[in-house]
Structure 1
Amino acid sequence: VADMKAEYIPPREDVIMQNESPDELYIIVSGEVEMIESEMENEPTVWTFKSGDMIGEVGALCCRPQSYTYRTKTLSQLLKIRTSNLIEAMKTRQEDNIIMIKNFLQ
């Protein structure tokens, strides 16, 4: 997907907010990002994502509000992909569409 944007995000920054509309998904190039249950008072960490992981894809591809907040744990480089750009790429390249869907389901 040609329309990716690399961003450096400092520690403790919210990348995706819980219940936010799914406009983008991210690939973690470096650093760590925590998945947080932000509606609970103590904001427990549910999972920590690392380099090579993707965040926000379920909400983006299923057109549902984000289930969790994603917050950087360390300085992180993320590739941001707009959902609309990804969907357009999937429509125009059917053979790649199959590969992407299989990768998302892993």
Structure 2
Amino acid sequence: MVRSGAFEDTDIAITWHPKSFWQVVMAPSLANPRADFTGRSSHAAVLAASWSFGARPVELMNVGFNYMREHMPSDARVHYALLETGGIAPNVVQAHARVRLRSVRATCQA
């Protein structure tokens, strides 16, 4: 896919290694990444079906984190905070959004 140009405009790709079985790897973690999404701003009615805005990918990513929580060990936590959304009115879709992610208190038992 890389050679065919599928990722030419991609800054980051988050993926996993699918297997034919479930495997849980327990490892301590204190991750604190920041994700910035930049697109274009628009009135909500003009390009309502477009995903080229900054705020919509952040919303989708946060929904994914919320669903991921039910599959995590009970002592692991994932938190996020919207740092910037650039909103000026409810009917204007933001061009830029920033979110801080945090994975904390994930322990490892030997």
Pair in the same fold by TM > 0.5: no
Q: TM-score, normalised by structure 1?
A: 0.25
Max Rg structure: 2
Q: TM-score, normalised by structure 2?
A: 0.24
